[in-house]
Structure 1
């Protein structure tokens, strides 16, 4: 069953409608790997409400129904917006479709989740902000998790270099990716294959294999 962090007041019938769609409602904002639905009050700032909801994906907002409020919510980064006038059953059906679409698009490798559509990354439910080249590096490694990817391949696909530059440009990107991806976790995911390149660990390998 899919989990959903629900932060919408005065909709007592919504949890039952969600449950009928296979969506279990939770109350903890740090609920791991859960979708999120929040209430955008008339005087609230969409970005602030989304920040309070935490990291999805996806994150949706319920609004009073004003078009400008819905546009502002989407511009602030909401994955979907629903109007308060909609029935609980309709909101639940739309949320179920949204969650299913996001789940199909996302790549999950152990506790690592990559959304190739939005270019967003999570590890252990925590969002990780990556720069474009850091994301491209991770995406290339994630094409074949657990298997080595050559340094030359990464230079071409990540740095746009079809030759050996004689610098540590790739190593700099790897170091920055590691700093963001592995910080706070006991097992590093980006491993060095000495004399060849790098690989993305699946998350079940021992920490001593890092390099």
Structure 2
């Protein structure tokens, strides 16, 4: 899993990061609510662990802002505030689960695993669209400006991930994990090669570029 921990207590944050990393999960940590809002809006995560009391933007406001922008990543509130009304506030703000400090790491991990397995609440899309590019997930067809584009299975999976993250920057590591299901860097140019082939098919024959390289960071698909 890719996990974002938003916690301003460094000792607690370091404890969680160490535990998640030891179990093979990719973990980012932030201590400020405003920084977390910007980061979670442009990066992909499977789950978020959010403290209620944060500088910059408190946990409730952070999650409300994420939900208002259409980001549905599961959120677990982790906080010392554990009254019934507090838990209700957290869930009504858009949180999916609530765990009170002090906590057992095994319970935290079990709750996050359950959230990551949970199917999306919304109806799954069967067609993705970015500008004049269309991807039919049922028929496995790709078209741009009405013209069919022939994609091999890996190119289709790569394009699907990019389109699902329209406007966000996706890193090489994210692509290796989500498209190739590799949790290590094979030290090859497999990502770059497939990006080049995909760009040749979806961009080069057309006037408007959609697939952009973000220098020293990754790639972004947007009009």
TM-score with structure 1 setting the length: 0.48
Structure 1 or 2, whichever has the larger Rg, is: 1
TM-score with structure 2 setting the length: 0.46
